[in-house]
Amino acid sequence: MLQFVLKRIVVTIPVLLGVTFIIFTMMFFTDGDPARLILGDDALPEEVELLREEMGLNDSFLEQFLRYLTGTLQGDLGISYTTKVPVTTEIMARLPVTFKLAVFSTLFAICVGIPAGIISAVRQYSVLDNVTMVLALIGITMPNFWLALLLTLFFSVYLGWLPASGLYGPLYYIMPVISISALSVATITRMTRSSMLEVIRQDYIRTARAKGQSEGKIIFRHALKNALIPIITVIGIQFAIALGGAVVNEQVFAIPGLGKLMVDGIKARNYPIVQGGVLVIAIMFSILNLLIDLLYAFVDPRIKTQYQRSSAKVKSAPVAAAGKGVSQ
Amino acid sequence: MIKRQIISLLLAMVMVLGLTACGQSSGKADSNAPAPGGESASAAPGSESSSAAPAPTAATPAGKEDLIFALDQEPASLDPYMHSKQQGFTVGTLIYETLIKKDVGGNFIPWLATEWEQKDETTFVFKLRDDVTFHDGSKFTAEDAAYSLVLGSQSSFSANLFGSIDPDATKALDEHTLELKLKAPYAPLFEALASFRGAMLSKNARETAGEDAFGRAPVGTGPMKFKDWVSGDRIEMEAYEGYWGEALPFKKAVARIIVEGSARAIDLETGGIDIAMELPFSDWERIEYNPDTVLIAGESQSHSFILLNNSMEPTNNEKVRKALAHALDMENLVKTAYQGHATVADSFYAPSILGYKQVGPYEYNVEKAKALLAEAGYPDGVKMQYFTMENQINMTVAEVVKNMWGQIGVEVDIQIVDLATQTQLNNDGKCPAASMAPTVAMADPDAGLMIWPIYRTISIRHNDQHIQDLLDKGRETYAEADRVAIYGELQDYLFEKCYSIPLAFPRAAFGTRAYITGLEFAPSLVPDLTQVKFA
């Protein structure tokens, strides 16, 4: 098992290098001159040239990339072009906010989505099931931006219960969390329902019922546990998306998160911020993926044995196993 | 079974309707508010607060000691000489002070300087107050004043205002006497000194901290001192105990960064903030008729124009440019793009600035435009690119312009670009046509006409020495009547040459809670927050 984890971590290194190279290249070849943007239309060409020189923007692509790479390897992500603050400081100021929001909204999505999905599956075609499915459909199709504004209009302007923006206390989290998790709740509900429906029809469930097992035990111990693998996958993906920063929600609720930082960075051609942000997100994605793979093993002992067997020849065993877990 | 499904569907629909109805009813509550007088936000240029709105009812919350205002963008720096963004200057009105100020009547009044004297065309001597200290406790001296102004003359962010100051000869004569030397006569000097851009900062603090760090933790002489800056979220200030003047009615000030316009408006309505800067047009009416909030609207000193590239085919031909100008139905174009919150620009800078002269707009005449285009050698029309950024006003202008120019046979290809791309193309001279609205830094014709100097790199590229001569003359002439004549001539000349087409004098607004008084609309869009009083 440990071997498996170590190997996965080693595999992450070329991924991160690749991400660094791609994002650097993309920013390098995008139109727009950061020096001109900083100084504005009023500045003379000489002044812009001077600043370009100072920022090292006149060096060749290779020189700039190598300089960036050596810095990054030493843990120095550079200095923000616009604020002149180290990129690590900027990102670390935003990361906790984004992380907290991602955790809360994912927890909320799990707490609402899984029970709703189970009820829907157990009471298939009932009124409850239909209502849940319609709501889930709305959750998936409703534009995030619109939902966020609707929530503020209702809870802040009309009822006056919740503060409209900012993140200065527990109450402030309610609307952003609901708004960010709307899509996840809907996706998790639908996934739970379909996965449960599949499992419920299996022979071993019928056997459990036949031997007189209580309904609760059948649902939670036999059915849910076996239906959990695809649900975990969906939760992982949703959590990862939330970690990348919910730009739209950050904008509406004026939350200083990672997404906003990066979008501003792209607009201002603030290369160090964008590169640093993407790198941090890539690292988080990698860690998350690993955690999810490990979680599979806890849920499904069959996968655990596969990890142990395959740790000699690392391949994408977990994925294959996950697929099997669903179909069996 | 089917019956069940129908019932559940109906139930779901009821829930959805309930949700939207709640959203609507809150909107309705606002629009149903009494609306005497009707349209107060559309007439009269200059500043006025919304008098048609119902009388403010809210009293200041008991024990209120803080002022929370929302900016639409995070400043990159608070060093007044290291940026040119109005958001940074708005915060700066609390932290910094200037040598002189301008009163409501347009007269320059003493502030940190008690008196001044003009020795000759290029020499000014200022006597400074001796009871002023910086937030770090050190004394404000002529040394700091000289340092600040020399900085202003050398920084590429502020050289357009202070570039005429001679950095070598400007110096402190004694602790409280400043001798300001100019390289050449500079008529806008006092306007520049009185604007928030001529802020006095501590030489010692800035040199110790370094210019980058100073911009994140500034030291000035103003009534509020910098406390904390939470990146992306807020800037906090607290009252400076050693302030020489009258203390402000609040002990704490917080500048929150709320980028989304409607979110700023909602936060103002719910009382989360006291002042919201830069409200989008769509929220004006709600803020105006809400009894708890006040809309403060007026005409900006910046204007918008349609840039034409005079170094590029076909717009290097005067007839083509005039054809394009005559093909535009300005009245409708401006009304559509600015939703009624702007007037057609009939000259090359805003009416609130000295020497404004109405010269336009170009007559809307499609036949004349077609004839001009044919005369210019394009009887079958011509193709052109038009650059626009992705914001609502610019996009609408681009669409309407494409349509109107299409009527005379000019086929417009709209290119949507972001600010970074547009800025680069524009300054490389590669922008064929675009709508633009640069910020006018101070209420002086020299700043109002800042896009016209011949050395400017933006894509107008008229290369016309006569314009530069008149600009230089206007800049060097102290007598006001002579200046007005010079700028009048220049506006006529620009209209005749049609190097670019003036578009609109837009209005802008910010909103306050009803208990905030004393705050006036600022055409610079940088309101002086030290005026704020609580009712």
Q: What is the pLDDT of residues B99-144, one digit of tens each?
A: 999 988 889 999 999 999 999 999 999 999 999 999 999 999 999 9
Chain B contact probe: residue of A49, A52, A144, A165 with most B CBs at under 10 A:
A165
- 3-state SS class at A244: coil
CA distance B20 to B311: 54
Position A323 scores a pLDDT of: 41
Say if residue B173 is in the same domain as residue B319.
no
Query: How close, in Å, is residue B362 to chain A by CA atoms?
Result: 27
Both A119 and A44 in one domain: the answer is no
Mean pLDDT of chain B: 88
Q: Is residue B253 part of a domain?
A: no
d(CA A131, CA A74): 54
Nearest CB to A36: which of B77, B260, B427? B427
Indicate whether B210 and B340 sit together in one domain.
no
For an interface test with A, give the residue of B68, B79, B156 to mutate (most A CBs within 10 A).
B156
Residue B248 included in any domain: no
Report, as an integer, the average pLDDT of A38-55: 87
Domain end call among B159, B183, B215 = B215
pLDDT at B337 over 60: yes
Query: Is A186 found in the same domain as A270?
Result: yes
Residues contacting A253, CB < 8 A, separation 6+ = A148, A152, A164, A165, A166, A167, A175, A176, A179, B263
Residues B481 and B376 in one domain: yes
Closest residue in chain A to residue B428, using alpha carbons only: A45
* Structure token pair of residue A183: 């899509």
Question: What pLDDT, on a 0 to 100 scale, did the predictor assign at position B5?
Answer: 53
Considering only residues B57 and B70, tell me which one the structure prediction assigns the higher pLDDT.
B70
Count up the domains in chain A and report the number. 2
Q: Which residues form the domain of B169?
A: 97-215
Q: What is the DSSP string of A296-328?
A: HHHH-HHHHHHHHHHTTS--SHHHHHHHHHHH-
Give B 45-64 residues with CB within 8 A of chain A: none
Q: Of B187, B253, B207, B263, which Cα lies nearest the Cα of B79?
A: B207
Alpha-carbon span B404 to B395, nearest angstrom: 14
Q: What pLDDT score was predicted for residue A312?
A: 52
Report pLDDT digits (tens) over B352-385. Answer: 999 999 998 999 999 999 999 999 999 998 999 9
Residue A48: inside a domain: yes
Confidence of residue B214 (pLDDT cuts 50, 70, 90): very high
Query: Is A256 within 8 Å of B12 when comparing Cβ atoms?
Result: no
Q: Domain check: are A58 and A133 in the same one?
A: no
**Least confident residue range of B23-32, B72-81, B115-124, B154-163:** B23-32
What's the full length of chain B, in residues?
A: 535
Q: Which residue has the tokens 């502030």?
A: B111
Closest chain A C-alpha to B426 CA, distance in angstroms: 9
Is residue A202 domain-resident?
yes
Q: Is residue B121 part of a domain?
A: yes
List pLDDT tens digits, range B229-262. 998 899 999 999 999 999 999 999 999 999 989 8
Could you tell me which residue, B126 or B52, shows the higher pLDDT?
B126
A39/B260 Cβ within 8 A? no
Tell me the residue type at A252: V
Asked if the model's pLDDT at residue B8 lies above 60, the reply is: no
Indicate the burial class of A288 (C-beta count within 10 angstroms; 0-12, 13-18, 19 or more).
Answer: middle
In angstroms, how far is CA B429 from the centroid of its own chain? 24
Cβ separation of A269 and B420 shorter than 8 Å? yes
What gap in Å lies between CA B483 and CA B189, rounded to an integer?
Answer: 14
Give A163 to chain B, closest Cα distance, Å.
7
Residue B135 located in a structural domain: yes
Average pLDDT in chain A: 86
Asked if B490 and B348 sit in the same domain, the reply is: yes
* A170 upstream amide cis, omega within 30 of 0: no
Calculate mean pLDDT across residues A3-31: 88
In this structure, the answer to whether residues A106 and A164 fall within a common structural domain is yes
A146-155, A303-312, B76-85: least confidently modelled range: A303-312
Domain that residue A53 falls in: 15-73
CA torsion, ordered B269, B272, B277, B279, to nearest 10 deg: -30
pLDDT for the residue numbered B23: 38
Q: Identify whether residues B198 and B334 lie together within a single domain.
A: no
A143 has a pLDDT exceeding 90: no
Q: What are the contacts of A244-248 at 24+ separation with CB within 8 A?
A: A244/A281, A245/A98, A245/A281, A246/A98, A246/A101, A246/A144, A246/A176, A246/A180, A248/A144, A248/A145, A248/A148
pLDDT at B22 over 60: no
Q: Is residue B527 in a domain?
A: no
Tens digits of residue pLDDT in A158-196: 898 999 888 888 999 999 999 999 989 999 999 999 999
Q: Tell whether the model's pLDDT for residue B514 goes beyond 60.
A: yes
Give the CATH number of the domain where residue B117 resides. 3.90.76.10
Residue B23: its chain A contacts at CB < 8 A?
Answer: 150, 153-154, 158
**In this predicted structure, what is the pLDDT of residue B150?**
96
Token look-up 């603050």 returns A85
Note which residues in 411-470 of chain B have CB less than 8 A from chain A: 417-421, 423-427, 438, 450-451, 455-458
Nearest CA among B58, B7, B30, B511 for reference residue B263: B511
- Give the domain CATH number at A190: 1.10.3720.10
User: A125: which chain B residues are within 8 Å (Cβ-Cβ)?
Assistant: 1, 4-5
Q: B297 has which bridge partners?
A: B48, B509
Q: How far apart, in whole angstroms, are the C-alpha atoms of residue A162 and residue B81?
A: 40
In a domain? residue A91: no
Give me A289's structure tokens.
């993926």
pLDDT at residue B489 above 90? yes
Determine the residue type at B375: E
Tell me, yes or no, whether A47 and A191 share the same domain: no
Which of A83, A154, A158 has its CB closest to that of B76? A83
My answer on whether A65 and A109 are in the same domain is no
Instruction: Inform me whether the pLDDT recorded for B195 exceeds 80.
Output: yes
User: Which of the four pLDDT bands, split at 50, 70 and 90, describes residue B292?
Assistant: very high
Q: Quick check: A322 pLDDT over 50?
A: no
The residue-averaged pLDDT of B11-26 equals: 43
Q: B350 and B498 share a domain?
A: yes
Question: Which residues lie below 8 Å from residue B309, measured CB to CB, with a gap of 6+?
Answer: B315, B316, B429, B431, B432, B433, B459, B460, B461
Taking residue B455's Cβ as centre, other Cβ atoms within 10 Å add up to 7
Output A318 or B59, whichever has higher pLDDT: B59
B310 lies in the same domain as B183: no
Check: pTM over 0.90? Answer yes or no.
no
In a domain, A83, yes or no: no
- What is the mean predicted confidence (pLDDT) over B185-208? 94
Domain boundary among B190, B215, B240: B215
Residue A209 clears pLDDT 90, i.e. is over it:
no
The structural domain count of chain B equals 2
Are residues A161 and A208 both part of a single domain?
yes
Task: Kindly tell me if the per-residue pLDDT of A139 is higher than 90.
Answer: no
How far is the C-alpha of B293 from the C-alpha of B53, rounded, in Å? 9
Q: Are B101 and B23 within one domain?
A: no
Q: Note the pLDDT of residue B54.
A: 47
Which residue carries 């607060």 as its tokens?
Answer: B49
Last residue of a domain, one of B199, B215, B231: B215
For residues A31 and A113, state if they share a domain.
no
Residue A32 clears pLDDT 70, i.e. is over it: yes
In a domain, B359, yes or no: yes
State the ipTM, two decimals.
0.83
Give yes or no: residues A28 and A154 share one domain: no
User: Does the pLDDT of residue B293 top 50, yes or no?
Assistant: yes
Are B341 and B487 contained in the same domain? yes
Percentage above 70 pLDDT, chain B: 89
Same domain? For A146 and A30 the reply is no
Whether residue B36 is contained in a domain is answered as no
pLDDT above 90: residue B504: yes
Residue B470: predicted pLDDT = 95
Indicate if B15 and B145 belong to the same structural domain.
Answer: no
How long, in residues, is chain A?
A: 328
> What would the pLDDT profile of B144-167 be if each residue is shown by its tens digit?
999 999 999 999 899 889 999 999
Burial of B517 (0-12, 13-18, 19+ CB in 10 A): middle
Q: Give the bridge partners for B239, in sequence order.
A: B224
Establish if B15 touches chain A: CB-CB under 8 angstroms. yes
* Interface touch B257/A82, C-beta < 8 Å: no
Chain Cα centroid distance, residue B187: 22
Query: Do B194 and B339 belong to one domain?
Result: no
The pLDDT tens digits of the residues spanning B267-279 come to 999 999 999 999 9
Cα-flanking dihedrals φ and ψ of residue B74, to 5°? Answer: -80, 130
Where residue B410 sits, what CATH number does that domain have? 3.10.105.10
Distance (Å, whole) CA B486 – CA A236: 69
Question: Looking at the predicted structure, is the pLDDT value of residue B419 above 60?
Answer: yes
């996706």: which residue's tokens?
A: A187
Nearest CA in chain A to B233: A256
Q: Residue A323: CA atoms inside 13 Å, Cβ hemisphere, count? A: 4
**B183 plus B322 within the same structural domain:** no
B324, pLDDT greater than 90 = yes
A165 and B7: CB-CB below 8 Å? no
Question: In terms of domains, do A185 and A50 share one?
Answer: no
Which pLDDT band holds residue A316 (cuts at 50, 70, 90)? very low
- Shortest distance between the Cα of B204 and any Cα of chain A, in A, equals 20
Same domain membership, residue A142 and residue A51: no
**Residue B307, in any domain of the structure:** yes
